[in-house]
Structure 1
Amino acid sequence: MRIFIIVIIFLSVAGCKSPEARYPVTQNSGSYIDESVERNKEMIAEEEDYIKQVMGENSSTEYLDSAEGFWYYYNQKSTDSTNTRTPQFGDVVVFDYTISTIEGEPIYAEGEKPTREYAMDKEKLFTGLRQGLKIMKEGETVTFLFPSHKAFGYYGDRDRIGSNKPITARVTLHEIKDEIKQENNN
């Protein structure tokens, strides 16, 4: 009986040892991710250089540089000094837009995309257009030049816009509706 108790004590002490970490058989250094980051930086730099080259060929247009990483110019700018409001989070904006290649070839011509109502930052919309709407006022038409990472990125739009394609979007902002007014109307 004593041997049985000694065996049980021995097994319980031996079973209390802390678990040891298991290490993978092979280890990756992360070089694939580093290489991917470098490829993406090079691709973005090439796209931006190309966009700047296209802008340079059209010297009669005054291009503005956004802090978000795209360029734009006004086709129709609001001259009304009382019209200073830009869309804020939750506001509903009503707008139309067309999409072209950077060279100006139509991808989605006027009328192909329906007039859109969009709740700012509450619905899906490609990054560049979402950021571009935030700088517009009612009645303005602005043409944006977006590098692919601000447009449809790696996947494209899975229809007419391919992978990693910079685009031009011409946007007309018709109306900005307050978030509060929208909630009261529902």
Structure 2
Amino acid sequence: MKLKFLALLVFVLASCKSPEARYPVAQRSGSYINESAQRNRDLLNQEEATIQQLIEQDSTNDYITSSNGFWYYYNQKSTDSTNTTTAEFGDIVVFDYSISSLDGQPIYAEGEKPTREYAMDQEKLFRGLREGLKLMKEGETVTFLFPSFQAFGYYGDQERIGTNVPLKTKVTLHSIETETDNETNN
């Protein structure tokens, strides 16, 4: 009996040991994130070089570099000196646009996309086009060159635009209804 009691006591004391931490079989550093960031920088540099080459070959248009990381030129610029309004947060803009690859192959041809009414910064629209609309005045037509991060990025549009595709987008801005106009109409 004493032997059974002694064995039980040893078993109980041995099982009361504090738990030990389990270590992962394989440890990872931040190398995946660093590699991904480097791939994205390389992709951006390659796309910007392609766009710069396209700009150098096009002597008919005067390209402007935006502070948002894309390039554009005016197909039709407003000559009306009283037309100084550009779209801001909450304004309603009405526009048409077409999308093509940088080499001019149409992805969505002119007239294929319906005229769009868009509440600035309150609805979903790809980043470059959202920022481009803020640069335009009523009646203007502008062609934008977007690197893929300004366009549809890694996911594409899940229809015709694939992964990491830089785009040329031609936009005609028909009207801007400012937020103050919206409030007085309601």
- TM-score normalised to structure 1 length: 0.86
Distance, in Å, in 2 between the alignment partners of 1:37 and 1:23 is 28
Give the 5 Å matches for 1:19-168.
Answer: 24=24, 26-168=26-168
Distance 2:184 2:60 in 1: 46
- What is the letter of the counterpart of residue 72 of structure 1? Y
Task: Give the alignment's Cα RMSD to 1 decimal.
Answer: 1.9
Equivalences, count = 170
Rounded to whole Å, the distance in 2 between the matches of 1:158 and 1:184 is 39
Distance 1:185 1:134 in 2: 23
Unmatched runs of 5 consecutive residues or more in structure 2: 1-18
Shift of 1:183: 4.1
Query: 1-side partners of 2:70 and 2:42: how far apart?
Result: 17
Q: Deviations over 1:136-183 (max 9, x none)?
A: 000000000000000000111111111100000000000000223324
In the alignment, residue 100 of structure 1 is paired with which amino acid?
A: S
Give 3-state SS (helix, strand or coil) of 1:37's partner: helix
Q: CA deviation at 1:38?
A: 0.3
Structure-2 separation of matches of 1:125 and 1:21 = 48
Q: Which runs of 5+ in 1 are unaligned?
A: 1-18
Q: Which moved more, 1:35-44 or 1:173-182?
A: 173-182
Q: Distance in 1 between matches of 2:114 and 2:59?
A: 32
Match of residue 7 from structure 1 = none
Matches of 2:127 and 2:21, distance apart in 1? 42
Tell me the SS of whatever aligns to 2:85: coil
Q: Deviations over 1:32-57 (max 9, x none)?
A: 00000000000000000001111111
In structure 2, what residue type is equivalent to 1:124?
A: K
The more displaced of 58-67 and 89-98 is 58-67
For 2:103 and 2:56, how far apart are their aligned partners in 1? 12
Structure 2 residue aligned with 1:3: none
